[in-house]
Amino acid sequence: MLGAARAFSLFAATLVAGQVVFAFGTSVKSVGFMYLGRFIYGLGGENMSVGASVLLAEWFAGKEMASAMAINVAISRVGSVINNFLSPAIANSTNVRRIHESPCLNAF
Protein backbone atom coordinates (compact mmCIF):
# COMPACT_ATOMS: atom_id res chain seq x y z
CA MET A 1 0.00 0.00 0.00
CA LEU A 2 2.15 2.88 1.26
CA GLY A 3 5.51 1.22 1.41
CA ALA A 4 7.84 1.22 4.37
CA ALA A 5 9.54 4.53 3.62
CA ARG A 6 6.29 6.46 3.11
CA ALA A 7 4.68 4.89 6.16
CA PHE A 8 7.76 5.76 8.23
CA SER A 9 7.53 9.38 7.03
CA LEU A 10 3.82 9.50 7.86
CA PHE A 11 4.45 8.19 11.38
CA ALA A 12 7.30 10.67 11.87
CA ALA A 13 4.97 13.48 10.80
CA THR A 14 2.41 12.21 13.32
CA LEU A 15 5.06 12.41 16.05
CA VAL A 16 5.93 15.97 15.08
CA ALA A 17 2.26 16.99 14.95
CA GLY A 18 1.65 15.51 18.39
CA GLN A 19 4.65 17.31 19.81
CA VAL A 20 3.50 20.62 18.28
CA VAL A 21 0.04 20.22 19.82
CA PHE A 22 1.60 19.34 23.19
CA ALA A 23 3.93 22.35 23.03
CA PHE A 24 0.98 24.59 22.17
CA GLY A 25 -0.89 23.15 25.14
CA THR A 26 1.98 23.96 27.47
CA SER A 27 2.25 27.50 26.13
CA VAL A 28 -1.45 28.20 26.75
CA LYS A 29 -1.44 26.07 29.94
CA SER A 30 -4.20 23.80 28.66
CA VAL A 31 -4.09 20.25 30.00
CA GLY A 32 -6.64 19.21 27.37
CA PHE A 33 -4.31 20.21 24.54
CA MET A 34 -1.43 18.49 26.31
CA TYR A 35 -3.43 15.25 26.49
CA LEU A 36 -4.43 15.60 22.85
CA GLY A 37 -0.81 16.15 21.87
CA ARG A 38 0.34 13.07 23.76
CA PHE A 39 -2.46 11.04 22.18
CA ILE A 40 -1.43 12.10 18.67
CA TYR A 41 2.21 11.50 19.53
CA GLY A 42 1.35 8.01 20.76
CA LEU A 43 -0.37 7.17 17.48
CA GLY A 44 2.90 7.55 15.62
CA GLY A 45 5.48 6.41 18.16
CA GLU A 46 5.23 2.65 18.20
CA ASN A 47 4.29 2.49 14.53
CA MET A 48 7.41 4.44 13.65
CA SER A 49 9.50 1.98 15.64
CA VAL A 50 8.04 -0.91 13.66
CA GLY A 51 8.57 1.03 10.43
CA ALA A 52 12.22 1.62 11.33
CA SER A 53 12.69 -2.11 11.89
CA VAL A 54 11.15 -2.88 8.50
CA LEU A 55 13.40 -0.32 6.78
CA LEU A 56 16.47 -1.70 8.51
CA ALA A 57 15.51 -5.24 7.51
CA GLU A 58 15.13 -4.13 3.88
CA TRP A 59 18.34 -2.09 3.73
CA PHE A 60 20.57 -4.54 5.58
CA ALA A 61 19.11 -7.84 4.31
CA GLY A 62 21.84 -10.46 4.38
CA LYS A 63 24.53 -8.16 5.72
CA GLU A 64 25.03 -6.72 9.21
CA MET A 65 21.31 -6.57 9.98
CA ALA A 66 21.83 -7.51 13.63
CA SER A 67 24.32 -4.68 14.09
CA ALA A 68 22.00 -2.16 12.44
CA MET A 69 19.07 -3.20 14.64
CA ALA A 70 21.24 -3.14 17.77
CA ILE A 71 22.44 0.38 16.98
CA ASN A 72 18.85 1.48 16.35
CA VAL A 73 17.68 0.15 19.72
CA ALA A 74 20.75 1.47 21.55
CA ILE A 75 20.25 5.00 20.23
CA SER A 76 16.61 5.02 21.29
CA ARG A 77 17.56 3.83 24.79
CA VAL A 78 20.26 6.49 25.10
CA GLY A 79 17.67 9.09 24.10
CA SER A 80 15.36 7.82 26.86
CA VAL A 81 18.13 8.07 29.46
CA ILE A 82 19.03 11.59 28.38
CA ASN A 83 15.35 12.55 28.55
CA ASN A 84 15.10 11.14 32.08
CA PHE A 85 17.92 13.45 33.18
CA LEU A 86 16.94 16.56 31.23
CA SER A 87 13.16 16.63 31.74
CA PRO A 88 13.27 17.11 35.53
CA ALA A 89 15.95 19.79 35.18
CA ILE A 90 13.90 21.65 32.58
CA ALA A 91 10.70 21.27 34.59
CA ASN A 92 12.39 22.59 37.74
CA SER A 93 13.91 25.57 35.94
CA THR A 94 10.63 26.57 34.27
CA ASN A 95 8.25 25.95 37.20
CA VAL A 96 6.38 23.19 35.37
CA ARG A 97 5.40 20.59 37.95
CA ARG A 98 3.94 17.11 37.64
CA ILE A 99 2.86 17.41 34.00
CA HIS A 100 4.41 14.05 33.17
CA GLU A 101 2.51 12.23 35.93
CA SER A 102 -1.05 13.08 34.90
CA PRO A 103 -1.14 11.11 31.62
CA CYS A 104 0.53 8.15 33.32
CA LEU A 105 -1.99 8.05 36.15
CA ASN A 106 -4.91 8.38 33.75
CA ALA A 107 -3.65 5.41 31.75
CA PHE A 108 -4.63 3.10 34.57
State pLDDT tens for residues 63-105. Answer: 888 888 889 889 888 988 998 888 778 777 776 655 554 444 4
d(C-alpha 101, C-alpha 32), whole Å? 14
Of 4-8, 11-15, 21-25, 80-84, the least confident: 4-8
Looking at the structure of the chain, the number of domains it has is 1
pLDDT number for residue 98: 54
Q: What percent of the chain has pLDDT over 90?
A: 16
pLDDT, average across residues 34-62: 87
Ramachandran assignment for 91, one of left (phi > 0), alpha (psi -120 to 50 degrees), beta (any other): alpha
Which residue range is the domain that position 74 belongs to? 4-107
